[in-house]
Amino acid sequence: MNEYRKNVTIVLNFLKGRGYAQSTVKNHERFYTLLADDLAAKDITYSPEYGKALLSTLPGPA
């Protein structure tokens, strides 16, 4: 999970450094937290397919 957190920090810093809106950065941060909690609860490792599957279960923008 340390590697996951390290990579999340890299992505969030990239978004902030590129001037993405605070709401965009916050949405990414919330999803990465949700994903980390879900992975830990199920005791599984990250895969792009799993991330996409979890993302598809979330409501879209209003």
Contact 12, 29 (CB under 8 A): yes
Residue 1 is predicted with a pLDDT of 76
Residue 62 is predicted with a pLDDT of 54
Q: What is the pLDDT of residues 1-60, one digit of tens each?
A: 788 899 999 999 999 999 999 999 999 999 999 999 999 999 998 899 999 999 999 887
Residue 59 is predicted with a pLDDT of 85
